[in-house]
Chains A and B, each alone.
Chain A
């Protein structure tokens, strides 16, 4: 930790004695976030031998300055290049430019905005069906009855993979536990997925691709030499990992925040196009992907503090998104804030979420379908969060939908 050659006159990043992955801090991260932001631009957490950043500008820097903060050590807490933690890197998230640039270009072709806009009708048709059903029910558990019902149908359909839908959630939980430390939560979710892992492995093989989905297009692009041989499967796998739980989380948070802020709901009723603003504002406040990791390439410094080389750095996106240095009245849910493109819930820089226009389209379709049918949404009990190391998502959201 000591013995830096560069900038030795600078102070070392102060030690912060908090466990970001304790049950309490996962359930309610905001006090940890506040302390993280206020302590220093960068702190060191001894328990995990990691740095942590939570201020808006520092998070932007760590996420995008790949020459100093590489993704090639993995986007999780463990360094995938090291013995004991070694695994294949994700073929998109875990490589730096210039290698990343070519892969990103090929993926962009498969899911370009022009392609994505063609899915509107597919998503809308499914959304209308589900909205009809839940409005008729009146009192629902929204995570299961509404959000999961929609995403677990709509997303695998356009991706074109064949996997039992109920497997997605446990796999997702494992993924987002894996980005964090090897703790009890991870052990439990690994045990839980063991029986379904073979089905998961099959789901991203060529034979499992359904005709017309973009999974199939990824394999075709590999055949044409646009992706390195053998990476099509891992790409499909990355989409399964990155595109399901995050979107479920974001739509759940939007419903919860709209139920708790009737004034903002009124704005949506008056102008339903504002559901998009509501979704971006919800993922700003309740960032589904709470933290992504980079690794220091060498000794470096950040905003006047020294950092040692070859150490993991957690970029706490959720903390940055409530930094008052950037956002006025940061804890307020404001559907007119225009936070899209400003908040960091989707990352920033060259790795910025490539699926964000899919997520927004899904959100717009389902939230719009509900808003058109419903006069008010009310909580009928306490919302509960799922305990997952790095994913902020609801497990229970009891709602009453009052038909218009």
Chain B
């Protein structure tokens, strides 16, 4: 199963096996990573599952829908060049080894 490394705000790292087809937001909340809130469950209306994607993986990530594009402007941390909402990062084999930093704050 492909793996993803989350870097928590306190710099600790957590590596998770994420089944293909599962979003990083679901994987993180299911494993109790408190830095990911995911209030709306993936509806692109809360902007509380904000992550910063390690840049070499950006080309492999799925393209952004307009709704994600718009919501990133309303993240609590503020938008960075490598910002994504992790509910939209659905696991694929190509994303194996992906590293993301959990944005802080989310709320």
**Residues of A bordering B, CB below 8 Å:** 97, 101, 104-105, 108-109, 112-114, 117, 276, 280, 338-342, 346, 350, 352-354, 356-357, 360
Contact = CB atoms under 8 A, between A and B. Distances in A.
Given A342-B41, A356-B40, A350 B70 contact: no
B34 interface: no
B64 to A, nearest CB: 12
Contacts of B67: 104, 350, 352
B70 A104 contact: yes
B14 interface: no
Contacts of B47: 112-113
B94 interface: no
Interface of B: 38-48, 65-67, 70-71, 73-74, 76, 87, 107
Contacts, number: 62
A357 B67 CA distance: 15
B90 to A, nearest CB: 13
11 contacts: A104-B66, A104-B70, A105-B66, A105-B70, A109-B74, A112-B74, A341-B42, A346-B43, A354-B45, A357-B39, A357-B45
A350 B65 contact: yes
* List of 8 A-B pairs having minimum Cβ-Cβ separation, nearest first: A341-B41, A340-B41, A341-B42, A112-B74, A101-B66, A105-B70, A108-B70, A113-B47
Contacts of B43: 340-341, 346, 352-353, 356
B66 A356 contact: no
A328 to B, nearest CB: 16
Contacts of A112: 47, 73-74
A342 B46 CA distance: 15
B15 to A, nearest CB: 23
A109 B45 CA distance: 12
Nearest to B47: A113
A113 B45 contact: yes
A102 B40 CA distance: 22
